[in-house]
Structure 1
Amino acid sequence: MNELSLTTPALLFPAVSLLLLAYTNRYLGLAAIVRRLYDDHQTRPSSNLLKQIGSLRQRILLIQWMQGAGVLSLFLCVLAMFEIYVGAHQLAEMTFGVSLICMIASLALSLWELKTSSVALNILLSDLERHQD
């Protein structure tokens, strides 16, 4: 087996950074939607707005977990680099492996959040279709 070098965990930095930026943008977009729905509900209460609350709560939670897993992945990458630096190569390999697992979890949560988002959009589309008739 090839020995893990400092550059291997470092390769994950750009990917994780861009992923965390994308997750933050999703979170900020979701926060704007929640604020707008709140204002809409204050002026025009609607059962469809209330139907979206469960989906929005789940999406917020998923994004928090996505971000947490991404940050943990980045943290473990840095820790693996430190372990390589101090000569703890076997520990570094395990740490880097866990870092990759955290990244996989973050991406899986991202897919789940995307699916949940689609459900919320379908609620809006069904409302539009109902008003069309």
Structure 2
Amino acid sequence: MDITLTTPAIMFPAITLMMLVYTNRFLGLASLIRGLHQRYEADNDPRVREQIDNLNRRVELLRSMQGFSMGALLCFVLCIFALFLGWQIPGKALFTVGLVLLTASLSQSLREIRISCNALKIQLGDMAKK
């Protein structure tokens, strides 16, 4: 199977959109962490500390998600360059690596969403007890 220049190029809008979503998530988490940190310094509540630890795990996942996405984008750019020069085999290899990195980013995103949902369940469970 031969791939053309347009094959990796169709990945650019998807990765750009993913990076935008990841950046928005990061900004939201940063805001939450700042607010919780102020609350922790004022109250010294251990539950707030647990929430901050949870958010720190999510930030780490977001960083790896963004790294995998940027790696995929770089592979797709290099793939286009290789295909432009007529190097089919390196182009296919770069495209494959890009797809693997994109899959890794999406799987990390799934983990981050699961952690987020668990945190919300804990918060709602705490409210239900009251």
**TM-score, length-scaled by structure 1:** 0.93
Shift of 1:129: 2.1
CA distance in 2, matches of 1:44, 1:38: 10
Of all paired residues, the percent bearing the same amino acid is 38
Cα distance per residue 1:12-58 (max 9 Å; x no partner): 00000000000000000000000000111122221211121331121
* Unmatched tracts of structure 1, length 5 or more: none
Q: Equivalences for 1:1-133 in 2 at 5 Å?
A: 1=1, 3-130=2-129, 132=130
Which amino acid in the other structure matches residue 37 of structure 1? L
Q: CA deviation at 1:102?
A: 0.5
- Per mean C-alpha deviation after superposition, the further-off stretch among 84-93 and 53-62 is 53-62
Contact 1:48/1:127 (8 A) holds in 2: no
Secondary structure of 1:4's match?
A: coil
Partner Cα distance (1:127, 1:38) in 2: 20
User: Which 4+ stretches in 1 moved above 3 angstroms?
Assistant: none
How many residues are paired up? 130
Q: Is the 8 A contact 1:48 1:123 kept in 2?
A: no
Whole-angstrom CA distance in 1 between matches of 2:106 and 2:125: 29
Using the alignment, how far apart are the partners of 2:37 and 2:51 within structure 1?
11
The TM-score, its normalising length taken from structure 2, stands at 0.95
Distance 1:125 1:47 in 2: 17
Cα distance in 2 between the residues matched to 1:49 and 1:121 = 13
CA deviation string 1:53-110 (max 9, x = no partner): 3311210110000000000000000000000011111110011011001001100000
Kept in 2: contact 1:52–1:123 (CA 8 A): no
**Greater RCO (CA < 8 Å, at least 6 residues apart):** 1
Structural RMSD (CA): 1.0
